[in-house]
Amino acid sequence: MLVYSTLSINIKQFLFCIFLILISSFVTQQAAAQVPADSTAADSALLKQVEAQMQSTAAPPQQTRSTLTFNPDIGVVGDFQGSYISRGKRNFDAYLNESEISLQAVVDPYIRADFFISFGRDPETNKYGAEVEEGYLTTLSLPAKLQLKVGKFREAVGRINPVHPHALPFIDLPNAYVNYFGEEGLNDEGASLSWLIPNKAFYQELTFQATSGLTDAPAFTRSEGNRFLYLSHLKNFFTLNDNATLELGLTGISGPNAFQKVTNIAAADLTYKWKPLTMNTYKSLTWQSEFYVSKAKDSLSGSMNSFGLYSFVEDQITKRWFLTGRYDYAQKPYDKTIKEQAYSLTAGWLATEFSKIEFEGKTTDDNIGSRYYQGWLRWIFVIGAHGAHQY
């Protein structure tokens, strides 16, 4: 009887539990029927919002400095060339003329750093060597519209010297420029201070530079004493109209020479640019000239004077094709009786801003030898960051 009674009680409890479950299920269904149909979508949207907030909390954005990234802008420029010369035993050649690596970044709100490492070819030994082509710091926030540059840099001589050779519209350099400043140009170590002159009529910039004289320029040499190379440059830029600009520059240079005396050079540059607003992608014209007058003192004759110039016209004939014709006249800095005249024509095809192919032919005549002819093929290619060139 006891077992039967206990079993009866358990069955009653079980049935009572089943009854409660059924009642609970019925009440839940009735409550769900009264909920709006879009509650599921609202809950889903709320859930996604919560998950997004949790993700943003778990991985907060990284702090950045005053530049776009922590790393500097890095670029590589390749300069592959083939050449021909009518005199000598070896007339044809092909070579990787130069590879240039650029590292550029803003250090902080006060200074910017620019470094250019060059892996160049020595034409005499056909061997490659690495050097710092440029490496300098530039201030960003000096008062009174002043800017200071310190390090190794291409000096402010006219229009050609501040520009890297791969950015020029011709392959070889003008004869007068090479006779005075060499194939590498004036590229020296020191300081440069420029002042943006407050002139509302047109743009004016005055630059003073003092460098150690560590340069391969034929007109100058490094002094054994405390003589340095000094340079001043005045840039005047005029906007003629919406389609044309004119730039006039004046340069004065003074420094020690190979005779342990002083060489003074006065230079002037004139650049006219036409680029119509309605056709600026397809048409443009540039006329650029530079003039050099040198007075070099020596220990024998007292002083030697010489003169040189170049002038070229670059015509953009289509969107990607450019033609550049150039005339050169040059005397030697220490012997004005040696005179050179040359004519050259360069055709350039700019596939993009990262690649261009150029062909140049040149004829040179002087009063110490017979006329000779030269030709070049150059392929420039850029990877990585590509900074803007000087206007």
- The CATH number covering residue 312 comes to 2.40.160.10
Question: By the 8 A CB rule, do 328 and 374 touch?
Answer: no
Residue 165 lies in a domain: yes
Overall number of domains in the chain: 1
Residue 287 lies in a domain: yes
Contacts of 350 (CB under 8 A, 6+ apart): 320, 321, 322, 356
Q: Read off the pLDDT of each residue in 258-279 and give the average, rounded to a whole number.
A: 94
Query: At which residue do the structure tokens 């600009």 appear?
Result: 245
Residue 201 lies in a domain: yes
Name the token pair of 225: 């004493």
* Nearest partner of 268 among 239, 241, 233, 299, judged by Cα: 233
Per the model's pLDDT, the better-predicted residue between 319 and 32 turns out to be 319
- What is this structure's pTM? 0.79
State pLDDT tens for residues 212-265: 987 789 999 998 888 899 999 999 999 999 999 999 999 999 999 988 899 999
Residue 253 lies in a domain: yes
CB count in 10 Å sphere of residue 183: 12
Question: Distance from first CA to last CA of the chain, Å, rounded?
Answer: 113
Contacts of 36 (CB under 8 A, 6+ apart): none
Query: In this predicted structure, what is the pLDDT of residue 68?
Result: 47
Question: By the 8 A CB rule, do 227 and 210 touch?
Answer: no
State pLDDT tens for residues 321-378: 999 999 999 999 888 889 999 999 999 999 988 999 999 999 999 988 889 999 999 9
Question: 12 — phi, psi (to 5°)?
Answer: -65, -40
Contacts of 212 (CB under 8 A, 6+ apart): 188, 189, 190, 222, 228, 229
Residue 26 lies in a domain: no
Pairing of strands 262-274, 244-256: antiparallel
- Report residue 6 CA to chain centroid gap: 97
Residue 88 lies in a domain: no
Residue 48 lies in a domain: no
Query: In this predicted structure, what is the pLDDT of residue 48?
Result: 61
Q: Which domain holds residue 150?
A: 140-384
pLDDT at 1 over 80: no
Residue 123 lies in a domain: no
Query: In this predicted structure, what is the pLDDT of residue 215?
Result: 76
Contacts of 32 (CB under 8 A, 6+ apart): none
Q: Mean pLDDT over all residues of the chain?
A: 85
